[in-house]
């Protein structure tokens, strides 16, 4: 017999991403539209442990779709990894009468949600969970696209376009580090979009002569006097790479680490719409008792995946996109 869903909680966890507020808005309004109560859990799993919550309705999520960050705040929780921490979180769920939780974040957020649901089942408490993928790195295995990626790309592109103006004026090389500790999706997308001379990603082992020096030389022979090297943070240290370039070809690069600026800003149309669709589908899945799921994008369409299966999935990095970059820069030096 299906359980009637009366109240759900929504939280954001892990690194923030533009579009999280749009997802929260969609969850709250979709729930209220179905006659389901909604509670916002602040500061991720830490908030569930510490009973940091706020009742939410349609008016509480007005005028947030265009805002970056997350109005529910976010955090990582070591305590929640423990059984004791999960029991505290579960006690809050029981106190609030939560039938389900929508967790917005990455793989770690989803694993935490699944652990909590399993712990609830062990104690005889039925708690559904649904995950919405949100990370600027776009590195969640089960989903081809994650909320925040498009906005982060656009932010980095805007910054690099401005850097190019001064770089061109002084005939310099610029080494720009973007986020991506374990994945090069952001760096490669940005690199192609700005016409970078070279792009370094974790998925491709760095050969300094081939990947940087030779490309700068070809660019110079083609008449280019300014160069752009985009580095994913997981592919190497931007400052060290700058020193190596100076030693190899004698030019004096300037290093820019974009850092957390990539996480901020008003979300793009793509991130707003994707977040809205995912929030709606998450509530629908819970209302239909298809709990313990992830709302993912597969081949450009939304799919409701079993969370346990989703966490086992991986996605292959599309190296053909790197080949596109190579074709457009090898003989012309980018730009």
Per-residue pLDDT band at 331 (split at 50, 70, 90)? low
Q: Looking at 99, 137, 150, 211, which residue is catalytic?
A: 137
Lowest mean pLDDT among 8-12, 58-62, 182-186, 329-333: 329-333
At 273, which helix (H) or strand (E)? helix 269-287
Q: For residue 330, what pLDDT is reported?
A: 65
Q: What angle do CA 304, 306, 311 make, to 5 degrees?
A: 110
| Cβ-Cβ contacts under 8 Å for 48 (sequence gap 6 or more) | 9, 11, 41, 80, 88, 89, 92, 93, 101
Q: Is residue 137 flagged as an active site residue?
A: yes
Smallest CA-to-CA distance from 18 within 83, 64, 87 is with 64
Per-residue pLDDT band at 167 (split at 50, 70, 90)? confident
- C-alpha span between 180 and 189 (Å, rounded): 12
Q: For residue 165, what pLDDT is reported?
A: 84
Q: What pTM, to 2 d.p., does this model score? A: 0.93
Q: Is the pLDDT of residue 169 over 90?
A: no
pLDDT digits (tens, 9 = 90+) for 88-136: 999 999 999 999 999 999 999 999 999 999 999 999 999 999 999 999 9
- Which pair of tokens denotes residue 284? 């629908």
DSSP of 283-331, one letter per residue? HHHHHTT--SEEEEEETTEEEEEEHHHHTT------HHHHHHHHHHHTT
For residue 134, the 8-state DSSP code is B
Query: What is the pLDDT averaged over residues 31-43?
Result: 97
CA 48 to chain centre: 22
- Which pair of tokens denotes residue 125? 């408490």
Mean pLDDT across the chain: 92
- C-alpha span between 210 and 218 (Å, rounded): 11
Inter-residue contact 81 to 14 (CB < 8 Å): no
Q: For residue 220, what pLDDT is reported?
A: 85
Q: Does domain 7-148+267-310 have CATH number 3.40.50.2000?
A: no
Is the C-alpha dihedral spanning 122, 126, 132, 134 positive or negative? negative
Q: Could you check whether 7-148+267-310 and 151-262 share the same CATH topology?
A: yes
Q: Which listed CATH number (1.10.10.10, 3.40.50.2300, 3.40.605.10, 3.40.50.460) goes with 151-262?
A: 3.40.50.460
Per-residue pLDDT band at 322 (split at 50, 70, 90)? confident
Rama region for 120: left / alpha / beta (φ>0; ψ in -120 to 50; rest): alpha
DSSP of 135-195, one letter per residue? -TT---TT-S--BTHHHHHHHHHHHHHHHHHHHHHHT-EEEEEES-SS--HHHHHHHHHHT
Per-residue pLDDT band at 317 (split at 50, 70, 90)? confident
Q: For residue 1, what pLDDT is reported?
A: 41
Question: Where do the structural domains in the chain lie, given as residue ranges?
Answer: 7-148+267-310, 151-262
- Other Cβ atoms closer than 10 A to 331: 12
Inter-residue contact 191 to 230 (CB < 8 Å): yes
For residue 239, the 8-state DSSP code is H
φ, ψ for residue 29, nearest 5 deg = -70, -35
- Using only C-alpha atoms, the chain has a radius of gyration, in whole angstroms, of 22
């Amino acid at each position: 017999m299906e359980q009637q869903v009366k109240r759900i909680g929504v939280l954001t966890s892990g690194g923030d991403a533009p579009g999280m507020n749009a997802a929260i808005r969609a969850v709250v309004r979709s729930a209220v539209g179905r006659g389901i109560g909604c509670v916002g859990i602040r500061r991720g799993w830490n908030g569930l442990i510490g009973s940091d919550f706020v009742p939410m309705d349609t008016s509480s999520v007005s005028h947030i779709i265009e805002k970056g960050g997350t109005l529910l705040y976010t955090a990582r929780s070591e305590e929640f990894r423990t059984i004791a921490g999960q029991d505290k979180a579960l006690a809050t769920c029981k106190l609030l009468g939560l039938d389900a939780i929508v967790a917005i974040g990455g793989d770690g957020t989803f694993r935490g949600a699944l652990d909590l649901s399993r712990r609830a089942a062990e104690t005889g408490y039925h708690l559904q969970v649904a995950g919405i993928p949100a990370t600027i790195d776009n590195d969640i295995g089960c989903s081809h696209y994650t909320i925040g990626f498009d906005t982060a790309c656009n932010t980095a592109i805007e910054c690099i376009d401005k850097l190019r103006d001064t770089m061109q004026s002084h005939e310099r090389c610029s080494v720009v580090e973007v986020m991506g500790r374990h994945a090069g999706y952001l760096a490669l997308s940005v690199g192609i979009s700005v016409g970078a001379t070279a792009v370094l990603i974790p998925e491709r082992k760095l050969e300094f002569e081939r990947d940087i020096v030779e490309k700068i030389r070809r660019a110079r022979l083609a008449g280019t006097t300014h160069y752009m090297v985009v580095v994913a943070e997981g592919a190497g240290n931007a400052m060290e790479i700058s020193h190596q370039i100076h030693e190899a070809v004698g030019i004096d690069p300037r290093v820019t680490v974009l850092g957390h600026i990539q996480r901020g800003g008003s979300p793009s149309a793509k991130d707003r719409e994707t977040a809205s669709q995912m929030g709606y589908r998450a509530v629908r899945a819970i209302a239909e008792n298809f709990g313990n799921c992830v709302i993912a994008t597969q081949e450009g369409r939304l799919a409701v995946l079993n969370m346990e299966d989703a966490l086992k999935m991986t996605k292959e990095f599309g190296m053909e996109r790197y080949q596109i970059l190579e074709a457009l820069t090898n003989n012309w030096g980018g730009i």
